[in-house]
Amino acid sequence: MPNVIVICANGLQTAYLGTYGNPWIHTPNIDRIAAQGTVFDWHFPDNLTTIPARRSWWSGQLTLHDPLKGWGPLEDPKELELLTLLKSAGIRTTLISDCPYINDPSMGYARAWSERVLVRGSGYDQWCDPNTNKVDCTTEPNLPLPTAEDPNFELWQTRWNDLLRNRNRTGRIQDEHQTGLAQVIIKAEDWLSRQASGSAPYCLWLDIFCPHGPWDLPEFYRDYYASDRADQFEIHETGDLVPPKPSDTKQIRSLIDVPGGWVGDIISDEELIRLRKTYAGAVTMLDTWVGHLLEYLETSQKLSDTVIAFTSDQGEPLGEHGFVRRPVANVHEELAHTPLIIRWPNRSESGQRIGALVQSVDLSSTILNCFGQKTPDHWHGKDLKQLVDKPETPWREFLITGMDNDIHAIRTQHWLLIEHAQVDEEPEDTAEIDKMLYDDDEDKPELFIKPEDRWERHDVSAMYEEVVSELSELLHENLEKLASEPV
């Protein structure tokens, strides 16, 4: 029976990985996992973003239909059924995480593991006492604090003061070994070194906050792509990447973080180019430390009995649809399409690519089945090893995704339909219903041809009204079906 290691990177956009087509960002170690394993080309979490994605992973069930299963704290132990099933089967479950949302004890997501190692100080982790650690984020030129009149001024001031306190305490700018990413890998290697040969099998989950913002990186990675050796990530009007052009962006300020907002408002076009390169540097830093882990596993001869799954909970909007971060709910490519790469010990599947539509809940079933355990009937996923062994295996004809119960999408091999939430009130005059379904033209259903329109730039809903109607009906039928299932 193999062991399983899950490497979960937070906020990793597939377009920034070599194995998913990026031509200029250095990710040789993640690409190595892909070359030795199976790449799932079309993998989507059902419920975006951080906390909701983990509800689906660790429960084995789709959760996008339930407004109570979003960003709130864990209330039902069944939401960690994957962990309880593994523990019942004698499998040790260990979480090593620097994700502040998962580490927050009030959320309850770290409590069901056999063992947990929580790394503090990433993101806006409220780790340091503000009374004894005085900082002032207004003096940091690379943090564009909103004006005092902005309703979110105090929120961002609090977050960024916490960020600076954490930076000072860890020393991560001067020493990359003190970053949350490096600490997770270092502690994972230490944990692995203490596992005796022949001991009970384990599932080790590495929850890495990188490359999720803020991007408070050591200078080496912050400036890695800032010279003329790599260009900005641009979207051509056809939705394709334009060829690289030399561009020195070192003179543009390197933003550590930005409030979620619109290009031209919270960030200039030049700053966006710089931010994309900073983000690329974070991806390369992630890849570097994944490489350290792979080297350790190889030299310690642990690769021969270990399944490695590399994935992410979400992507990261970086101006592809006019905004940065998540000022609005969205399910576009840059956020909803996430990597999934699995390397099995026998490596018979080396270099394989799977074009089926797969979701986070499939990873849950796959982990369970790696340990010889049957997928519960009420789970929504299937063991991905079936696809690896027989790629022609029938899989799902469509999948659905959503965010914040505000927007949902249905994806087939050929189409993506995006729908915004409808209003709750129903008018007495049913003739007025259609007028009330959408706040404005931007909230009407959008239809995109897939996979040709990778970046969803060309809405063709007016040209294919029948397709819109059919997909919309299918979407709502399945949302209603999910809502009617017993808890």
- Same structural domain for residues 198 and 259? yes
Higher pLDDT, 164 or 77: 164
Residue range 135-177, pLDDT digits in tens: 999 999 999 999 999 999 999 999 999 999 999 999 999 999 9
Residue range 447-485, pLDDT digits in tens: 999 999 999 999 999 999 999 999 999 999 999 999 998
Domain boundary among 389, 409, 431: 389
Could you tell me the pLDDT band of residue 251, with boundaries at 50, 70 and 90? Answer: confident
Query: How many structural domains comprise the chain?
Result: 2
Are 366 and 342 in contact, with CB atoms under 8 Å apart?
A: yes
Domain boundary among 389, 424, 454: 389
Residue range 425-436, pLDDT digits in tens: 444 544 443 443
Q: Has this prediction a pTM greater than 0.75? A: yes
- Same structural domain for residues 23 and 165? yes
**Distance separating alpha carbons of residues 375 and 479, to the nearest angstrom:** 22
pLDDT at 110 over 60: yes
- Same structural domain for residues 286 and 403? no
In a domain, 97, yes or no: yes
Domain boundary among 362, 389, 416: 389
In a domain, 370, yes or no: yes
Are 291 and 14 in contact, with CB atoms under 8 Å apart?
A: no
Give the 3-state secondary structure of 214-267.
Answer: CCCCCHHHHCCCCCCCCCCCCECCCCCECCCCCCCCCCCCCCCCCCCEEECCCE
Could you tell me the pLDDT band of residue 438, with boundaries at 50, 70 and 90? Answer: very low
- Same structural domain for residues 332 and 420? no
- Same structural domain for residues 73 and 102? yes
pLDDT at 247 over 60: no
Could you tell me the pLDDT band of residue 248, with boundaries at 50, 70 and 90? Answer: low
Are 33 and 308 in contact, with CB atoms under 8 Å apart?
A: yes
In a domain, 223, yes or no: yes
Instruction: For residue 297, give its domain range.
Output: 3-389
Task: Give the CATH number for residue 139.
Answer: 3.40.720.10
Are 364 and 60 in contact, with CB atoms under 8 Å apart?
A: yes
In a domain, 335, yes or no: yes
pLDDT of the residue at 219: 95
- Same structural domain for residues 452 and 418? yes
pLDDT at 234 over 80: no
**Among 62, 367, 57, residue whose Cα is nearest residue 204:** 367
Q: Which residues contact 127 (CB under 8 A, 6 or more apart)?
A: 120, 121, 162, 165, 166, 169
Task: Write out the E strands in 394-453.
Answer: 399-403, 407-411, 415-420, 446-449
- Same structural domain for residues 437 and 359? no
- Same structural domain for residues 327 and 266? yes
Q: Which residues contact 217 (CB under 8 A, 6 or more apart)?
A: 173, 179, 278, 281, 282, 285
Whole-number Cα distances in Å, 450 to 195, 282, 330, 417: 46, 29, 17, 10
- The runs of H, that is alpha helices, within 104-258 are 153-170, 180-193, 219-222
- Same structural domain for residues 288 and 151? yes
Are 134 and 169 in contact, with CB atoms under 8 Å apart?
A: no
Whole-number Cα distances in Å, 45 to 51, 163, 177, 215: 11, 28, 31, 23
- Same structural domain for residues 352 and 416? no
pLDDT of the residue at 441: 58
Preceding peptide of 211 cis, ω within 30°:
yes
Task: Give the CATH number for residue 431.
Answer: 3.30.1120
In a domain, 460, yes or no: yes
Rg value, the chain, Cα = 22
In a domain, 394, yes or no: no
Are 314 and 335 in contact, with CB atoms under 8 Å apart?
A: yes
For the chain, percent of residues with pLDDT exceeding 90: 78
pLDDT of the residue at 76: 83
Kindly write down the DSSP assignment for every residue of 295-334, as one continuous string.
HHHHHTT-GGGEEEEEEES----BSTTSEES-SS----HH
- Same structural domain for residues 239 and 188? yes
In a domain, 62, yes or no: yes
- Same structural domain for residues 478 and 372? no
Are 60 and 86 in contact, with CB atoms under 8 Å apart?
A: no
In a domain, 281, yes or no: yes
pLDDT of the residue at 231: 44
Q: Which residues contact 324 (CB under 8 A, 6 or more apart)?
A: 258, 260, 261, 262, 263, 266, 267, 272, 275, 317, 318
